[in-house]
Structure 1
Amino acid sequence: MPEIKLRKMVTSCEEIYHEGGPVEEVPLCRAAALAVIANPFAGRYEPEIQGFMEDLKPLGLDMAQRLLDLLGGPDRIEGYGKGAIIGAAGELEHGALWHAPGGYAMRELLGEARAIVPSTKKVGGVGARLDVPITHVNASYVRSHFDSMEVGCNDAPRADEMALALVMTTGPRIHSRSGGLEAWEIKGEDGLR
């Protein structure tokens, strides 16, 4: 399979103190890592693409580690998500190649994460943005952690590129009060509850 050709890495962190309600002493932090790489399948239909997932694993681990470093380590992480924007010469299925390398990288470095990593993907032009879904790392039904973070880059993805994203958060939405399963009620049996 082709080697990864990284053009650019973008990291960002939001610190959210309030959403119109009381100011929190400790902000919610949402961080994203976005890797802009060459799409080795751009411009043609390639029937065998699964091998590229193995090539993406080191990139996933690097990006996940960057997020952990930015947010203060695995013990601080409560939410995560992943996504991909594929340039116009690619196809949506190329974004699906990020599911395993991106998701497993975060779960491996977090250690005890049980919930499936939510994901989204699309084909888009230069400057396209993507809302990456976020759920709790151990129980997908924890409503307070249903969130998203917008990612993108002003000059990516070019037609022959893909922009691969990982997102992590340090807690629930600020002022969460929508009910449902709470983080302290997680049983940890199945990644759902």
Structure 2
Amino acid sequence: MNVRKIVTLVEETLTEGGRPVEPNARVAVVAAVIENPWRGQGFVEDLTAGIDEAASRVGEVLAPRVVKALGGTVEAYGKAAIVGLDGEIEHGSALIHTLKFGDHFRNAANATTLLPAVEKRGPAGVTFDIPLKHVTDATIRSHHQSIEVRLADAPHPGEIVIALAAASQGRPQQRLAPLSTEQ
């Protein structure tokens, strides 16, 4: 796995709707810009070798960094794979939709649910939103949120941006009733 760079972003919301957010709502994102393991190979029928080469390693690099950047307990989380223009969306999906990748974050966050995800192909500087959901119950509405990310120089055509996002709480000032009230 060839990593060109790692980017860490932390967003802290202090007020929402004209009211203080207490405690402040934190969301952290850590993204690795990696060389696409299938770069220059044409259509690859079996993606196993690239998955084995990179998925676990990139999960192992990102998971502890995003938890550390958040600086507290992870209550919501998500992931992203943004493929450069010379790759396939399936290349990004292959890396993040495997337990070899996701279990690193689930274990670091003491989580049990599947990680919500976004995958897309785009040029350097493409904007993408990482969806987040509660780490143990995806039906908890207060934790359904997203964070917008943009890396000015990534992904290059032969790269993939792999990112993890973690939130310290649900949406600031959330007021929706629990899903169970509508069932």
Q: Give me the TM-score of the superposition, normalised by structure 1.
A: 0.86
Alpha-carbon distance in structure 1 between the residues aligned to 2:37 and 2:68? 30
Secondary structure of residue in 2 paired with 1:141: coil
How many percent of aligned residue pairs carry the same amino acid? 35
* Alpha-carbon RMSD: 1.5
- Which amino acid in 2 is paired with 1:34? A
Q: Establish whether residue 169 from structure 1 lines up as the match of residue 167 from structure 2.
A: yes
Moved more, 5-14 or 53-62: 53-62
Verify the 8 A CA contact 1:7 1:38 in the aligned structure 2: yes
Q: CA deviation at 1:181?
A: 4.4
Give aligned pairs, total: 176
Q: Which amino acid aligns with 1:160?
A: G
User: Can you list the C-alpha shifts for 1:101-143, whole angstroms capped at 9, x where unaligned?
Assistant: 44221112223x1111101100101111110110000000000
Contact 1:82–1:102 at 8 Å: present in 2 too?
Answer: no
User: Which residue of the other structure, out of 139, 146, 149, is the alignment partner of 1:141?
Assistant: 139
Determine the structure 2 residue equivalent to 1:31. 28
1:26 Cα offset (Å): 1.5
* Counterpart code for 2:109: L
The structure with the largest strand share of the pair is 2
Q: Is 2:116 aligned against 1:115?
A: no
1:77 match: 74
**1:87 maps onto 2:67 in alignment:** no
Structure 2 matches for 1:1-193, cutoff 5 A? 4-43=1-40, 44-55=42-53, 56-73=55-72, 76-97=73-94, 98-100=96-98, 101-111=100-110, 113-181=111-179
**Contact 1:28-1:174 within 8 A present in 2 as well:** yes
Letter of the structure 2 residue corresponding to residue 13 of structure 1: V
Where in structure 2 are there 5+ consecutive unaligned residues? Answer: none
Q: Would you identify which runs of 4 or more consecutive aligned residues in structure 1 move more than 3 Å?
A: none
TM-score, normalised to structure 2, is 0.90
Contact 1:78 1:168 survives alignment (8 Å)? yes
Structure 1: runs of 5+ lacking an equivalent: 183-193
AA aligned opposite 1:61: E
Counterparts of 1:32 and 1:156 in 2: how far apart (Å)? 15
Q: Could you tell me how far 1:57 is from its partner in structure 2?
A: 0.8
| DSSP 3-state at the match of 1:9 | strand
Q: Is the 1:34–1:152 Cα contact (8 Å) retained in structure 2? A: no
